[in-house]
């Protein structure tokens, strides 16, 4: 791998950084030892069996992931066709409408992630649907922890290679956008680009009146999609507020009942 080569000139193979395998192996052994300790010391109960099963399952998952990543060579390959993960599978650039790096969970040890916004009808490897790999059907999250390239290098290479493919991605995309907004924004960008190409000097249609109906229609569709997203967010916040209010009311009622004279 040569980071000095221009981004987009060659494929990028990303490997585990030095010591990452040992770190993952140590975490897996710690989880399995904790599972054995809970099983041996906690009195027989539903909690004992649940905790033992959960810790054991997590330990096995980390162990399998560590060996799979270590044995596969490159964990992540980015080339002109798309992105392929050693464990999770592949997705084509034609199906990726937006790319971003999400740092929101980095302080809690859950990031950063390379997030790919999928267009409607996207075809991705079925492995992307493994629990924990895919948070929603309209995007893919790829962990960038413990790799031998920085998130900035991976993002730069991914965007450069994606920009070699038609149709263009939405450069203003962020992980908070729904798939409906992404599709509407891409349609608006295409209509705007088509209008600009007709206005370029030397264009055969430069002297003809510009038909703005497509751009106007796609702009209205984008506004409707954004309004729908905003309404969904408001409904979610209202639901959380009601749940918090009901929980607080139940807690207050329980305290009053305990102190109510009998």
| Peptide bond between residue 112 and the one before it cis (omega within 30 degrees of 0) | yes
pTM: predicted TM-score of the whole model, two decimal places: 0.62
Q: What is the pLDDT of residues 154-194, one digit of tens each?
A: 999 999 999 998 888 988 888 888 888 888 888 887 777 77
Instruction: Please report how many Cα atoms fall inside a 13 Å half-sphere around the Cα of residue 97, on the Cβ side.
Output: 25
127 or 169: which carries more pLDDT confidence? 169
| Most confident by average pLDDT, 74-78, 110-114, 243-247, 257-261 | 74-78
pLDDT of residue 42: 81
Higher pLDDT, 53 or 24: 53
Encode pLDDT of 185-229 as tens digits: 888 877 777 766 666 665 555 555 555 666 677 777 778 877 777
pLDDT tens column, 68-102: 656 556 788 899 989 988 777 788 898 899 999 98
Eight-class DSSP state of 187: H
Per-residue pLDDT at 109: 60
Give the whole-angstrom CA distance, residue 77 versus residue 252: 55
101 strand-pairing partners: 114
Q: Is the pLDDT of residue 8 over 80?
A: no
Residue 35's pLDDT is what? Answer: 83
Three-state DSSP class for 140? strand
- Looking at residue 135, its pLDDT comes to 40
Residue 123 DSSP code: -
| Res 4: pLDDT | 44
Q: How many Cβ atoms from other residues are within 10 Å of residue 78's Cβ?
A: 26
CB 146 within 8 A of CB 23: yes
Burial class of 18 by CB neighbour count within 10 A (0 to 12, 13 to 18, 19+): exposed
- 35, β-bridge pairs: none
Tokens 């991605």, residue? 169
Whether the bond into 167 is cis, omega within 30 of 0:
yes
Of 45-54, 116-125, 167-176, the one with minimum mean pLDDT is 116-125
User: DSSP 3-state assignment of 150?
Assistant: coil
CA nearest to 117, candidates 18, 185, 68, 67: 185
Distance CA 23, CA 86 (A): 19
Of residues 205 and 151, the one with the higher pLDDT is 151
Burial 135-158 (b: 16+ CB within 10 A, else e): eeebbbbbbbebbbbebebbbbbb
pLDDT, residue 261, reads 65
Tokens of 180: 């409906």
Interatomic CA distance for residues 253 and 188, integer angstroms:
53
**Six token digits for residue 179:** 């798939």
pLDDT tens sequence across 13-49: 887 766 666 677 777 788 888 888 888 888 877 787 8
Q: Where are the domains of the chain?
A: 17-71, 79-162, 179-259
Strand, coil or helix: 125: coil
C-alpha closest to that of 146 among 193, 177, 179, 109: 109
């Amino acid at each position: 791998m040569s980071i000095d080569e221009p981004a987009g000139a060659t494929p990028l193979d990303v490997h585990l950084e030095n010591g990452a395998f040992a770190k993952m192996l140590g975490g897996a052994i710690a989880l399995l030892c904790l599972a054995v300790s809970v099983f041996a010391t906690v009195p027989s109960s539903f909690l004992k069996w649940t905790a033992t099963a959960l810790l054991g399952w997590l330990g096995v998952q980390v162990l399998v992931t560590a060996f799979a990543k270590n044995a596969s060579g490159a964990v992540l390959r980015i080339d002109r066709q798309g992105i392929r993960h050693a464990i999770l599978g592949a997705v084509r650039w034609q199906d990726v409408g937006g790319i971003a790096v999400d740092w929101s969970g980095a302080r809690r040890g859950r990031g950063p992630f390379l997030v790919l916004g999928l267009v409607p009808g996207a075809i991705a490897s079925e492995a992307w649907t493994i629990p924990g790999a895919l948070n929603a059907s309209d995007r893919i999250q790829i962990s960038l922890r413990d790799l031998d390239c920085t998130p900035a290098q991976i993002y730069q290479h991914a965007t450069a290679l994606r920009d070699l493919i038609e149709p263009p991605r939405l450069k203003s995309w962020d992980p908070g956008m729904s798939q409906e907004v992404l599709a509407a924004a891409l349609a608006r960008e295409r209509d705007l680009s088509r209008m600009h190409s007709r206005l370029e000097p030397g264009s055969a249609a430069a002297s003809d009146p510009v038909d703005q109906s497509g751009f106007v229609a796609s702009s209205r569709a984008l506004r409707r999609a954004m309004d729908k997203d905003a309404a969904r967010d408001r409904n979610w916040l209202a639901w959380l507020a009601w749940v918090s209010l009901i929980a607080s009311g139940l807690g207050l009622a329980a305290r009053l009942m305990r102190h109510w004279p009998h």
